[in-house]
Structure 1
Amino acid sequence: MTYEETIDYLYSLLPVFHRDGEKAFKGSLTNILKLSEYLGNPHLKFKSIHVAGTNGKGSTSHYLAAILQSAGYKTGLYTSPHLKDYTERFRINGKSIEKANVVTFVKEHKSFIEELKPSFFELSVAIAFDFFANENVDIAVIEVGLGGRLDSTNIITPILSVITNIGFDHVNILGDTLPKIASEKAGIIKENIPVVISEYNDETKPVFIDKAKSTNSEIYFASENFSVVEKETNSTNLIVDVFNIEIDSPRLIFKDLNSQLIGPYQLKNIAGVVQSVMILRSLSYSISDEAIINGISKVVTLTSLKGRWQILSEKPLTICDTGHNEHGLKIVLDQIKKLNIKQKYFILGFVTDKNVDEILELFPKDGTYCFCQANTPRSLASENLIKIAESHGISGYSILSVNDSLKFIQEKAQRDDLIYIGGSTFVVAELDNL
């Protein structure tokens, strides 16, 4: 099979979350354990960092991978979903797995795959673990797919667990309260393994403390130890100062730290990342301040990250972002307000399991909107989306394709305007010029 035929084969054979939704979430570690045993338990052959959270886990994973890479470690990075190509999920030092490796893996293990019929995600995790073990990575940063406790990545025993934040997402699977969701995310906390919490609130903190006590794990609340203060932000960079606040008098440890990832939500992520690096240092990892600075300032370049506040053009300023839930989109919209651009155009599409009514309440009524839908069965039909929007006092156009929507809006926008594309990872993924 060719690479394209291989991917088509997997999509046709296995349940896929972006297509099948909740049905593709197995809610059990049985299949991944069987896959791993069949492959010789590759997850036991490399060290790892495990990252969970409602929002921020992708950015945090990329920050950590970029810093470790800058420190000279051969660093694996597993993330999901991919945007343009499946190989993006599996990276070593920023380079995606070769397509031929994917083809060879499926060809060699085709009989077992057809016998077990794991989910697409379960198989992807197995490919990642096998890839990192075969390539003898020094360490791999593993991003949770969904939740934590029953996520297929949760068979690893990492050297460090990181939980970025807790918000309402996938409530039909993870629970309808923040403590319930936090409990699922806290499932990645392992016996005697330290855990970093990047962000918490009064409802989630006790959940993390109780879980850490039950596993005898040192717990670090990053915001109680490090303060990240925004100094300057623009469409392309975020500049911050980082203070150590563990001591009586706050001590400046990074001045004018420049991040390629921007937005106020990165302040919490950076605090969690700095806390994580301090723990890695205590575990005898040699990570200089220069490696931290380089990793954060070149995170997009080093890890080939796409879709996080990605600028597609300057005139008009055209930005796409994969934020897709209420918490993430609120932060994105706050960042848009800071740009102080008068005329704003929004190209939006969502999937059916999001609370679109609450999300649309976040968007300004005076923007110009174009509603689209991604080419996946889970997409909310654009004609239905425009009706929901109208019930919230938002009017606009309905154009099926995101690329056709962008062309339509580009004809209307002036050079000093803003065009924002988002609402769903799958909408962003279908952009031609990403």
Structure 2
Amino acid sequence: MTYQEAEAFLFEQLPMFQRVGGSAYKKDLHNTLALLESIGNPQKKGKFIHVAGTNGKGSTASFISSVLQEAGYKTALYTSPHLKSFTERMRINGIPISEAEVIRYVEKFKPVIAELRPSFFELTTAMAFDYFAREEVDIAVIEVGMGGRLDCTNVIEPLLSIITQIGLDHQQFLGDTLEEITKEKAGIIKNSVPVITSVKENELRLIIKELADSKNAPFMDSQEFFSVSVLEESLPDWKFSAENLKSNEKIEFESGLSATYQIQNLKSVFTAIEFLNKSGFGISSSDIQKGLKNVIQNSGIKGRWQRISNTGSSTPMIADTGHNITAFEFITKMLQQEVYEQLHFVYATVNDKKLDEILELLPKNAIYYFTQANIPRALDSKELKKIAQDFGLMGHSYATVDQAIKIAQKNASDKDLIFVGGSTFAVAEIANL
């Protein structure tokens, strides 16, 4: 079996939520537990940090794993979805799982796949836990896929749980209100396991605290522990300052992920690092500074207010994978801070997302290039154009992301700005990501 055949097997034989939507969603952990039982329950070995949330969980997990790596710990990171290669999903000290390992796992799992018919994410999660256990990592940072309570990753007993921002997304599975979604996300809280949250909304934070209290889980609101501010919006890495609100100690640092929306995530990161140090880890200020600056190299994270270079065009291009209303509230503010004469907006989305609030928020004076990612779940670009026009968003439709970007580059001057977003999978198709 070649790697291409192994990857094709995973994508084509197993139902994958990102590609097909609801038909891949499993409403309990039975399959995950059965799958893990068949390979010796690797999720019961090792130390974990568990990160849930609607937005910010990937950045938060990547920051923490990068800092731990700089501190000398053999650190695993499990994230989803991948953008370019399946191997991105599981890394040890920043290095993706090898293609040879993926082949070995697919061949190993084939008999149990035939028996249990797991989803793509169930199998991938079992693969990650087994890989991390076999490699005897010091600690693994695990990002929740969707929700929390019923997510495949919610079978671990972590050292620490983290809940980032809450927003409206995947309502058909998690609930129609922020309160219902918060309860699902908070489902990762375990008995006596400390939980950190960066949730700003008081009523949502109280839901998390009440659930933590019911499980005797120490609760930490990161806003009460750290403040973070931008010192300089320099390129490529912004300069920040963080202050410990208990000791008044300050640290200045550069962040490889530079956007105002990272402030909320960074508060949780610093609170988590302080907790880890009090729990016996040895993480220095230098480790923190190196970890935050080198987060992209150490974690492989992409598509977070990423400035795309080497595009063959003189027009600046920014991409962001944010795709729900909460993310777009940040994205539109960030766009307002950029300097340009004309905004060229390459926009795609999926066919099961509520769009009205997002489309209402998008800038009316941009030129839009409506397109679609190469996945079954993509919303047809012509239909997207038709819907968007009702909200005053004007432009043309294009069959592929690559075509939309090339036309935008042809139309734009070096004083303009191209933004690509709306869909993780559209961002993934950017050639030079």
Short-chain TM bin: over 0.9
Distance 2:179 2:84 in 1: 34
Contact 2:68 2:283 in 1 (8 A): yes
1:377 corresponds to 2:376: yes
Cα shift readout 1:401-433 (whole Å, capped 9, x = no counterpart): 111111111111111211011100011111222
Question: Shift of the alpha carbon at 1:313?
Answer: 2.5
- For the residue of structure 1 that corresponds to 2:308, the secondary structure is strand
Residue in 2 that maps onto 1:91? 91
Residue in 2 that maps onto 1:268? 264
Greater shift in the superposed pair: 60-69 or 170-179: 170-179
1:158 corresponds to 2:158: yes
1:254 is aligned, of 243, 251, 255, to 251
Residue in 1 that maps onto 2:316? 317
Residue in 1 that maps onto 2:219? 219
Distance 2:109 2:405 in 1: 42
- For the residue of structure 1 that corresponds to 2:361, the secondary structure is coil
1:336 corresponds to 2:335: yes
Q: What's the TM-score once normalised by structure 2's chain length?
A: 0.97
Cα shift readout 1:139-161 (whole Å, capped 9, x = no counterpart): 00000000000000000000000
Cα shift readout 1:146-205 (whole Å, capped 9, x = no counterpart): 000000000000000000111111111101111111100111111111110012312212
1:408 corresponds to 2:404: no
The 5 A counterparts of 1:184-199 are: 184-199=184-199
The 5 A counterparts of 1:288-367 are: 288-313=284-309, 315-367=314-366
1:431 corresponds to 2:427: no
Q: What's the TM-score once normalised by structure 1's chain length?
A: 0.97
Cα shift readout 1:355-387 (whole Å, capped 9, x = no counterpart): 222111111111111000011111111001101
Question: Shift of the alpha carbon at 1:234?
Answer: 4.4
Greater shift in the superposed pair: 205-214 or 64-73: 205-214
Contact 2:371 2:397 in 1 (8 A): yes
Cα shift readout 1:239-263 (whole Å, capped 9, x = no counterpart): 211112236xxx24213x2111011
Question: Shift of the alpha carbon at 1:329?
Answer: 1.7
Distance 1:300 1:19 in 2: 26
- For the residue of structure 2 that corresponds to 1:140, the secondary structure is strand
Cα shift readout 1:194-236 (whole Å, capped 9, x = no counterpart): 1100123122122111111111010100011111112222453
Distance 1:411 1:374 in 2: 20
Residue in 1 that maps onto 2:35? 35
Question: Shift of the alpha carbon at 1:237?
Answer: 2.3
- The AA in structure 2 aligned to 1:288 is S
Greater shift in the superposed pair: 79-88 or 299-308: 299-308
Distance 2:256 2:352 in 1: 31
CA RMSD of aligned residues (A): 1.2
- For the residue of structure 2 that corresponds to 1:148, the secondary structure is coil
Contact 1:313 1:319 in 2 (8 A): no
- The AA in structure 2 aligned to 1:155 is V
Distance 1:65 1:202 in 2: 28
- For the residue of structure 2 that corresponds to 1:118, the secondary structure is coil
Distance 1:317 1:12 in 2: 36
Question: Shift of the alpha carbon at 1:340?
Answer: 2.4
Distance 2:315 2:49 in 1: 39
Distance 1:308 1:200 in 2: 20
Distance 1:14 1:109 in 2: 12
- The AA in structure 2 aligned to 1:145 is G
Contact 1:13 1:117 in 2 (8 A): no
- The AA in structure 2 aligned to 1:223 is Q
The 5 A counterparts of 1:10-49 are: 10-49=10-49
Contact 1:347 1:419 in 2 (8 A): yes
Greater shift in the superposed pair: 411-420 or 66-75: 411-420
Greater shift in the superposed pair: 120-129 or 223-232: 223-232
Contact 1:52 1:185 in 2 (8 A): yes
Residue in 1 that maps onto 2:207? 207
**Structure 1: segments with no counterpart, 5+ residues:** none
- For the residue of structure 2 that corresponds to 1:190, the secondary structure is coil
Distance 2:169 2:108 in 1: 37
Distance 2:173 2:108 in 1: 33
Contact 1:309 1:320 in 2 (8 A): yes
Instruction: List 4+ stretches of structure 1 deviating above 2 A.
Output: 234-238
Q: How many residues are matched? A: 430
Contact 1:263 1:331 in 2 (8 A): no
Cα shift readout 1:293-319 (whole Å, capped 9, x = no counterpart): 111111111112221122113831111
- For the residue of structure 2 that corresponds to 1:62, the secondary structure is helix
Distance 2:391 2:189 in 1: 41
Contact 1:234 1:339 in 2 (8 A): no
Distance 2:347 2:234 in 1: 23
1:105 corresponds to 2:125: no
Distance 2:249 2:74 in 1: 30
Contact 2:309 2:432 in 1 (8 A): no
- The AA in structure 2 aligned to 1:203 is E
Question: Shift of the alpha carbon at 1:344?
Answer: 0.8
1:417 corresponds to 2:416: yes
- For the residue of structure 2 that corresponds to 1:345, the secondary structure is strand
- For the residue of structure 1 that corresponds to 2:91, the secondary structure is strand
Residue in 2 that maps onto 1:393? 392
- For the residue of structure 2 that corresponds to 1:361, the secondary structure is helix
Identity of paired residues, percent?
A: 46
- The AA in structure 2 aligned to 1:374 is A
